[in-house]
Amino acid sequence: MTDVNAVIFGASGLELTEAERAFYRDANPWGFILFARNISADAEQIKRLVADMRDSVGRNAPVLIDQEGGRVQRIREPLCPRYPSGRDLGDIWRQDPARGVRAAWLMSRLHAFDLLKLGINVDCLPVLDVPVEGANDVIGNRAYGKNPEIVTQMGRAAADGLKAGGMLPVMKHMPGHGRAFADSHHDLPVVDTPLDELRAHDFPPFKALTGEVMGMSAHVVFTAIDPENPATTSRKVIEEIIRGEFGFDGLLLSDDSSMNALKGTLGERARAIASNGCDVVLHCNGAMQEMLDVIAQVKPIAGKTKERADRAMAAFTAPDDSNEAELRAEFAALLPSA
């Protein structure tokens, strides 16, 4: 068995190909991530795929998904209900903060019921970005609101709900994607906001949740910190802001390395990510040639990254004894007020 490598990979379809099995066995990624192309209406298909991923590396590797609710929800009916967006939950908070916080916790706890039975144990949630007026809709209604206090309270509740259900959260996108005026899936957003304004508006939710064991970087340039490089590949942003100012010592995952905000070949992107402070390179689209380019540049998990990865794996706990039917009824009763 080769060393575990500091990368998370996706897969191309509903089941692993023989080429993927062989590649994962040799590449030994730290974890895997699922997207809509990997999901059918058949729960057994998802369970088989997840089990095959883990079997390919011979261990209980983390399996991630973006299951936020709203438009970013990879698993939908009939396997689980269509959940509201972050903004919908924020609307409850704006009417009654206590009810809003409870709704955020409940939705995450219900995500855990949905996902853990399929073998998925990490949800890339909460979204801690705080949008500004006129920003690109790449975050949009995924955010709980435009006030850092709302986002902090709701994000903490969402993270706690996942952990109560035996899953781990990944807070995103550090140090903040809410001010981006371009969609980082297609272009590189550049934010020219002064640092004191970022500290007042964009950074507080991440600082408040700095004790979480995993976070995800933003493909966004902050000219007040590093005018040349997006946060994902900026040693200055990662060391001075995320590690230093925020005090975050959890496992830092890159956002998807195949997004076009990043320049260069996939190998060049992976090298830039791995060499500038991100712990783990995320590559999502399952394209074999790209994965080959990425694995050639990533390193085995070692040193501080290994400490952080081990801490993340040790953070998994058994789910609480919540009654699923009761929580679903409580959640449904909260929604009409939104």
| Model pLDDT for residues 251-262, shown as the tens digit of each residue | 999 999 998 778
Tell me the residue length of the chain.
338
Its pTM stands at 0.96
Share of the chain above pLDDT 70, in %: 97
Residues 6+ apart with CB under 8 A from 149: 204
Annotated domain spans of the chain = 1-37+49-61
Q: Tell me what the mean pLDDT of segment 72-89 comes to.
A: 96
Residue that is written with structure tokens 């983390």 in the block: 62
Which candidate in 123, 226, 255, 279 is catalytic?
255
Identity (one letter) of the amino acid at 306? K
Return the axis-axis angle of helices 43-57 and 18-27, rounded to nearest 10°: 40
| Model pLDDT for residues 3-55, shown as the tens digit of each residue | 999 999 999 999 999 999 999 999 999 999 999 999 999 999 999 999 999 99
Residue that is written with structure tokens 């679903």 in the block: 328
Residues 6+ apart with CB under 8 A from 44: none
Residues 6+ apart with CB under 8 A from 266: 257, 258, 283, 290, 293, 294
Q: Is 177 a catalytic residue?
A: no
The pLDDT, as a whole number, for residue 1 is 53
- Give, in order, the Cα–Cα distances in Å from 315 to each of 81, 211, 235, 274: 28, 12, 27, 24
Average pLDDT, the chain: 95
pLDDT at 337 over 70: no
Which candidate in 185, 186, 310, 320 is catalytic?
185
Of the candidates 201, 63, 29, the residue with the CA atom closest to the CA atom of residue 132: 201
The pLDDT, as a whole number, for residue 182 is 62
Q: DSSP state, 300?
A: B
The pLDDT, as a whole number, for residue 338 is 41
Residue predicted with more confidence, 246 or 136: 246
Q: Is 255 a catalytic residue?
A: yes
Q: Which residues pair with 174 in a beta bridge?
A: 217
φ/ψ (deg, to 5) at 230: -65, 155
Share of the chain above pLDDT 90, in %: 91
Q: How far apart are CA 68 and CA 50, in angstroms?
A: 19
| Model pLDDT for residues 103-117, shown as the tens digit of each residue | 999 999 999 999 999
Q: Tell me what the mean pLDDT of segment 201-211 comes to.
A: 98
The pLDDT, as a whole number, for residue 209 is 98
| Model pLDDT for residues 155-202, shown as the tens digit of each residue | 999 999 999 999 999 999 999 999 977 666 767 889 999 999 999 999
Q: DSSP state, 151?
A: H
φ/ψ (deg, to 5) at 310: -65, -40
Buried b (16+ CB within 10 A) or exposed e, 163-179: bbbbbbbbbbbbbbbbb
Of the candidates 60, 23, 35, the residue with the CA atom closest to the CA atom of residue 288: 23
Number of helices (H) and strands (E) in the chain: give both, helices first: 12, 13
Q: Kindly give the pairing relationship between strand 72-73 and strand 280-283.
A: unpaired
134: three-class secondary structure by DSSP: coil
Q: How far apart are CA 9 and CA 25, in angstroms?
A: 12
173, containing H or E segment: strand 171-174
Q: How far apart are CA 88 and CA 98, in angstroms?
A: 15
Q: Tell me what the mean pLDDT of segment 291-311 comes to.
A: 97
282: three-class secondary structure by DSSP: strand
109: three-class secondary structure by DSSP: helix
Token pair listed for 240: 């001075």
